[in-house]
C-alpha cells in the first residue's frame, strides 16, 4: 500500500474517512508498528526486500493472517513489488514486525489491512483458467468463464476483488469446437445505462490521484502521470477543507455538493484556478528546471498566474458575496 490506496481500502471496507485513516496510521507509526505512512510509493527497494522474510516470520502469530505468514516462511517470495526506481522519498507501507498490544478495533482494522496487503504483495501469483465460448445462432453470442486453479495471493483475504467483479465469471461447461448445441431458452432484456455514482472518499481519492489521465496535451498528461492533484499526504486535508467550508457534505458514505459548493463551482469552473492542466504545466516546468531551465522565468510565470487568478476571483467573488449575503 501507499497512503492513497490504503485510505481507499479503509473507506471501502470500514467506511473510514481519509483523514481518519491517516490519523490511525500516524498512531500506528508512532507505536512503531508500521513504517512511514505518508508515502506515495507502492514499491520497496532490494535493501528493504532483504529484510522482508524476517518480517513475515514475525507475523506467524497474527490472528487473521498467521497461517498465510507461516505458509510464506521459507518460500521464495515474489518480487513484483520490488523496484527501487519506483520508490519515491519513502517506500511502501509495511509492518515492522513489532507485536501490537491492546489496540482499538479501528487501529486493528487498519493494521490488518497493512499486514494483509504486505502478505499479498510477496505471495505467489493467482492462476486462473479463462474460457471464452463463441456461439453463432443468427447472431454471435459470447460467454466468458473463469476458474481459479491456484488462489495464490487471493488466499490472504480469501474474498472476491470487488473492483474486478465483472471479471469473475462462472465456469463454463465443456464444449468442442464446431459442436451443435440446442437452444433451450431465449429472452429479450431491456436495460438502461446508469449515471455515474456519487463520489465517496475512496473514489474521490482515486480521482485526485489519476486526475491527469483525461488531459489532451500529451506532454502535460505525461507530466501528471505520477502526481495527480495534491499528494498522498495532502488529499485527506483537501477533502476535509471542502467539508469544513460546507462545499460538500457526507451523506452516508457519499460526498454530496451543497448549494454553496455548487455556487462556487459555477463561479470558478471556467477560471484558471480550476484547470487541472496547471499541475501538469508546473510539473513539466519543474522537470525543465532540473534539466537547467531558468528558475527566474518560472517565478515570473507564477507571479503572472497569481495576478490573473486574483483578478478573476475578485471579480467573480463580488457576485458570489451578494448571492450569499
* 36 has catalytic annotation: yes
Counting every residue written for the chain, the total comes to: 325
Whole-angstrom Cα distance, residue 95 to residue 110? 11
Residue of 29, 36, 222, 305 marked active site: 36
Confirm if 229 and 279 have CB atoms less than 8 A apart.
Answer: yes
- CA–chain centroid gap for 33, Å, is 23
Q: Minimal CA–CA distance to 52: which of 119, 101, 126?
A: 119
Active site residues: 36
Amino acid at each position: 500500500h501507499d497512503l492513497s490506496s490504503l485510505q481507499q481500502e479503509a473507506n471501502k471496507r470500514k467506511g473510514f474517512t481519509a483523514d481518519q485513516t491517516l490519523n490511525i496510521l500516524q498512531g500506528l507509526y508512532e507505536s512503531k508498528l508500521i513504517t512511514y505512512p505518508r508515502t506515495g510509493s507502492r514499491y520497496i527497494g532490494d535493501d528493504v526486500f532483504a529484510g522482508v522474510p524476517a518480517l513475515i516470520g514475525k507475523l506467524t502469530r497474527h490472528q487473521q493472517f498467521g497461517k498465510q505468514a507461516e505458509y510464506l516462511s521459507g518460500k521464495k517470495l515474489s518480487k513484483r513489488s520490488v523496484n527501487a526506481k519506483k520508490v519515491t522519498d519513502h517506500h511502501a507501507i509495511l509492518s515492522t514486525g513489532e507485536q501490537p498490544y491492546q489496540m482499538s478495533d479501528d487501529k486493528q482494522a487498519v493494521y490488518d489491512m497493512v499486514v494483509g496487503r504486505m502478505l499479498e504483495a510477496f505471495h505467489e501469483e493467482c492462476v486462473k483458467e479463462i474460457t471464452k465460448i463463441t456461439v453463432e445462432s443468427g447472431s454471435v453470442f459470447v460467454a466468458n468463464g473463469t476458474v481459479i486453479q491456484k488462489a495464490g495471493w487471493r488466499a490472504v483475504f480469501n474474498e472476491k476483488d470487488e473492483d474486478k467483479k465483472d471479471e469473475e465469471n462462472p465456469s463454463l461447461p465443456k464444449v468442442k469446437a464446431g459442436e451443435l448445441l440446442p437452444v433451450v431458452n431465449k429472452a429479450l432484456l431491456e436495460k438502461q445505462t446508469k449515471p455515474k455514482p456519487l463520489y465517496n472518499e475512496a473514489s474521490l481519492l482515486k480521482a485526485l490521484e489519476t486526475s491527469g489521465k483525461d488531459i489532451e496535451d500529451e506532454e502535460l498528461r505525461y507530466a501528471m502521470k505520477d502526481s495527480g492533484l495534491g499528494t498522498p499526504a495532502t488529499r485527506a486535508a483537501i477533502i476535509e477543507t471542502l467539508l469544513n467550508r460546507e462545499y460538500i457534505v457526507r451523506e452516508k458514505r457519499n460526498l454530496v455538493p451543497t448549494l454553496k459548493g455548487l455556487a462556487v463551482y459555477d463561479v470558478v469552473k471556467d477560471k484558471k484556478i480550476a484547470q487541472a492542466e496547471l499541475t501538469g504545466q508546473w510539473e513539466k516546468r519543474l522537470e525543465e528546471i532540473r534539466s537547467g531551465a531558468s528558475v527566474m522565468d518560472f517565478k515570473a510565470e507564477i507571479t503572472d498566474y497569481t495576478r490573473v487568478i486574483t483578478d478573476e476571483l475578485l471579480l467573480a467573488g463580488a457576485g458570489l458575496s451578494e448571492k450569499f449575503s
